[in-house]
Amino acid sequence: MRIAIASDHAGFDLKQDIARWLADEGHVVTDCGPQSNARVDYPDFGYKLALAVTGGASDFGIAICGSGIGISIAVNRHPKMRCALVNEPLSAMLAREHNDANAIALGARLGGIDMAKACIAAFMVGRFEGGRHEGRVDKLSSPPFVPQTVS
Amino acid sequence: MRIAIASDHAGFDLKQDIARWLADEGHVVTDCGPQSNARVDYPDFGYKLALAVTGGASDFGIAICGSGIGISIAVNRHPKMRCALVNEPLSAMLAREHNDANAIALGARLGGIDMAKACIAAFMVGRFEGGRHEGRVDKLSSPPFVPQTVS
């Protein structure tokens, strides 16, 4: 799959480890930054991730900050993004099945690399169930939740 | 405190239990619905919660759906909302300290009433640390993340 990944400084090391793992697994990884663990602001990189996914360059996104909270809010500001903050695989799978999520957020200071991998693996296995969930997902990208200017 | 609460059908029972507990604790609770466990769409009630909080009628909001994922995305579509999906108290406290969160989302099918209460209690105790976090929080309500029409 084509996977975009972004973090802040707190999530940088986990981002590097996950990106390497995904590439080793044969996926095409787009690294939206940052390129070091120097202090940055998570909204900037959540925004880059949203553009990488909504622009079609990536199938889904992985967003990482210290707790996952800040960057998940940032990604979800984009009306076409559905980013699920998860810390275990069941939530990651439900995010796909029920919410057709196109991104997951992880908290690098709260969970470790193996749990992160398990969440990402579950996310990739999950398939949107459609049906009754479809109208709800559509509403997330419809008025009053849009229009939103994203240039 | 003045607390708004909203759910979908999957979160209805937990919403009722939490609302009763908060009222017993002396808080002023605004119930944004629904009023039964009939099937509804979580975006509609996430939107009502966002209006209750951003309109100033409530100090913060509690959003509940089956996993917490869908309604957390819905609430975060509002540019003035910062909703943290949490399933344990440390995340709830960090959401306040680092992200100045004004809502938390809970998954009624993934966590029980006592964990929900512990998350809410931690959220209410937490205080925004400001400082380096302030600029990041401000960015979540600034271009390119706004303007967004919410009527």
Mean pLDDT to the nearest integer, A7-23? 98
Q: What are the structure tokens assigned to B147, written together?
A: 């303007």
Q: Please, which pLDDT band fits residue A56 given cuts at 50, 70 and 90?
A: very high
ipTM above 0.90, yes or no: yes
pTM, whole model, 2 decimals? 0.95
pLDDT given at position B148: 47
Interatomic CA distance for residues B67 and B60, integer angstroms? 20
pLDDT at residue A143, as a whole number:
80
What are the catalytic residues of A? 65, 98
**Contact at CB, B149 and A147, closer than 8 angstroms:** yes
Residue A149 has pLDDT above 60, yes or no: no
Q: Are B101 and B82 in contact (CB under 8 A)?
A: yes
Overall average pLDDT of the B72-100 stretch: 97
Is the predicted pLDDT of residue A29 greater than 60, yes or no? yes
pLDDT of A59 higher than 70: yes
- Angle value at C-alpha A95, between B89 and A89, nearest 5 degrees: 65
Q: What is the pLDDT of residue A144?
A: 80
Residues 78-137 of chain B with CB under 8 A from chain A are: 78-79, 82-87, 90-91, 94-95, 98-99, 101, 107, 110, 132, 135-136
Confidence grade of residue B146 (pLDDT, cut at 50, 70, 90): low
Q: Percent of chain A, pLDDT > 70?
A: 96
Q: Identity (one letter) of the amino acid at A78?
A: H
- Packing angle between helix A12-24 and helix A113-125, nearest 10 degrees? 50
Which two tokens mark A148?
């939103």
pLDDT score of A146: 65
Q: What is the pLDDT of residues B32-68, one digit of tens each?
A: 999 999 999 999 999 999 999 999 999 999 999 999 9
For residue B144, the model assigns a pLDDT of: 80
**pLDDT score of B117:** 98
Write the pLDDT tens digit of every residue in A89-110: 999 999 999 999 999 999 999 9
Task: Report whether CATH 3.40.1400.10 matches the domain B2-139.
Answer: yes
Mean predicted confidence (pLDDT) in A42-63: 97
Name the region of A131 (left: φ>0; alpha: ψ -120 to 50; beta: rest): left
**Average pLDDT over chain A, rounded to whole?**
95
Residues of A in contact with B147 (CB under 8 A): 148-149
Give chain B's radius of gyration (CA, Å): 14
Question: In this predicted structure, which of A45-49, B1-5, B31-35, B138-142 has the lowest mean pLDDT?
Answer: B138-142
